Amino acid sequence: GHLLRKFNNDNSNRRYKLQLEQLRNNIRHYRFANCNNPYSVTGTASGCTGTGSITITVNPLPAITAGASTSTICSGQNTTLSASGGSTYSWSGSAGSGSSVTIAPTSSTTFTVTGTDNNSCSNMATVSITVNPSPSAFVSANPTSLCAGASATLTAGGGDTYSWSGGLESGNVQNVTPS
């Protein structure tokens, strides 16, 4: 009681407190997993007794894992979520069910999958999808009207990098001579 409280409030004994907490957890787990199994009962009626017993099977939870074909996508793109470790799967939101689902989220989202095994035991896993907005690319020309043989400067904006049609080099500024 008092000694344990004093021990737990002493910051110089962190390593020992961690070991004590791990020991407590192991004792709790042992008592929970092994206490009163099998269960028995004695019934009495009219001065006579009878007994019965039952053993309950404790199945472990399935180790469910979740992943994505691509965890960072652009707005409007899709990705495939996958799960393993169970026999049936149900995904959060409107993602659906199954070990593999294709989604196109409109914003960054964390999806939770609940996997159930053949013993009807369930566990969950999560996978996060980051949705980056698509850039609003634009282009301007100076001049926008010219005579044959003259050149114009094209300037792009709204993105980080640019690729042009017509065999132009990369970059946001291009000098062209339209024909």
Task: Render pLDDT for 139-155 as a digit per residue (tens, 0 to 9).
Answer: 999 999 999 999 999 99
For residues 60 and 35, which has the higher predicted lDDT (pLDDT)? Answer: 60
Of 16-20, 149-153, 159-163, the range with the lowest mean pLDDT is 16-20
| Average pLDDT value over all residues in the chain | 85
* Mean pLDDT across 48-62: 92
pLDDT digits (tens, 9 = 90+) for 64-89: 999 999 999 999 999 999 999 999 99
For residue 152, which phi and psi values (nearest 5 degrees)? -135, 155
**What gap in Å lies between CA 140 and CA 85, rounded to an integer?**
54
CA distance 110 to 94: 12
| Mean pLDDT computed over 17-39 | 55
| pLDDT tens digit sequence for 80-135 | 999 999 999 999 988 999 999 999 999 999 999 999 999 999 999 999 999 999 88
Q: How confident is the model at residue 178 (pLDDT cuts 50, 70, 90)?
A: confident
Q: What is the CA radius of gyration of the chain?
A: 33
Lowest-pLDDT range of 18-22, 34-38, 164-168: 18-22
Q: What's the N-to-C CA distance of the chain in angstroms?
A: 92
Question: What average pLDDT does range 8-17 have in this prediction?
Answer: 50
Q: Kindly report the number of other CB atoms within 10 A of residue 17's CB atom.
A: 15
Q: Is the pTM of this model over 0.85?
A: no
Strands of 79-84's sheet in order across: 65-68, 79-84, 100-103
Contact 127, 66 (CB under 8 A): yes
Half-sphere exposure of 166 (CA within 13 A, CB side): 9
